[in-house]
Chains A and B, each alone.
Chain A
Amino acid sequence: MVANHPQKKRIITDQEAENISRVEELAYEIKVSEVMTNNLFCFSPDGKMEEVLEVFRQKRISGAPIISKNGELIGIISMEDLIRCLVDTDLQSKIEKYMTKKLTSILPTDPVIEASKKFVSTNFGRLLVVDKNQKLVGMITKGDINRGLLRALETDYQEEEIRIYRASHLFEDIESDRTSLILRYQIHQGDFDKGGQASSNIKRALLRLGASKQIARRCGIAIYEAEMNLIIHTTEGGVLRVEIEPHQISIDAYDYGPGIKDVDQAMKAGYSTATDAVREMGFGAGMGLVNISRCVDHMKLESVWGKGSRLKMRLFLDVENIKKEIAED
């Protein structure tokens, strides 16, 4: 008769998948010296097996190195060896008789992945950690590796939690009469390859800080248009400066030339001074400033021909605005 077992499905969530790869990463990052036991109890080969039984029981250990009189590492005694001795009821004999003489060692500077590989290839339960000068510095078991990895993962997790907490509580945690966060981006003329990078980064920063999706989107669009204007229309690029406060976001885009001849005309939908090459890429629709004015609560464009321009934009984050947004969505 064939038992009809329900098919067991193993579902790995994104979070778990992330952790798996992180464990693998950590296995390469963490060194043997960070997880090994360095507080070793050593036996002499002339000691009795009785002694081993007593120490293993009291110290709750399952293996120990054997050091000769002249300080040389000559073997290792493990629980398995002790069991063999117990089966023979031979506790009075010397440790020498039961110890394992075949030694597998690893360097303290090796990553733990090397230790894992040795565990798989040798089938040993523990490895001796021996430094470059052949000095015994510790011992490592599979359990040590697991504990080390778990500890590292926990630290990682806590750090991420703290990062998110800090970002979203930034304004509550810092007491001052007026707290603000300023982000600055240098935009280079003609750098189309990086076009949109600053605005994407700012949008992401706002979301991390806990801004609503709508606010982040409006800011993203306004800053994108300002960013592209700096890339397309300036002589030597300019600066994007974003100041984030609990009640508003202020964006300044300024450049050092050439300036706008007729600001009123520049504000008109469809008016553009872009070259044919730029238009071919899909820019120069004459909609940039119009788009900005739709996305922000307040904008002001100042320009002196021959000197440069400054575009100031503001978004208010007060309760009325948020209500309006929800209603619109």
Chain B
Amino acid sequence: MKLDKELVAASSAPLILSLLVEGDSYGYAIIQRVRELSGGKIQWTDGMLYPVLHWLEENDQIRGRWEKAESGRRRRYYSILPKGKKALDDQREQWSLVNATLTKIWRPQYA
């Protein structure tokens, strides 16, 4: 099953914020983790992650910092900020509401 483009786009910010709540991370690792958690079903075009990261940073939801990786090259790590945690709480409520509503509607149909 492949997720619709719109759904992938809408879920990208809450997915990123949720992963950053677990701990600081960087682009490549975030993509790998999403792939792993979704069993490879959520497939982002890798480059599309970065505009979302930058948008979240522009809106003070996350903060980026450069660190030296094992390879000696710089890598940009991101950490979640209080505004990001608040945005994630809002998103969680909204997604839960949509999920609960759809579950109620679909239950009799698939029972």
Q: Are chains A and B native binding partners rather than an unrelated pairing?
A: no
Contacts from A to B (Cβ < 8 Å): none
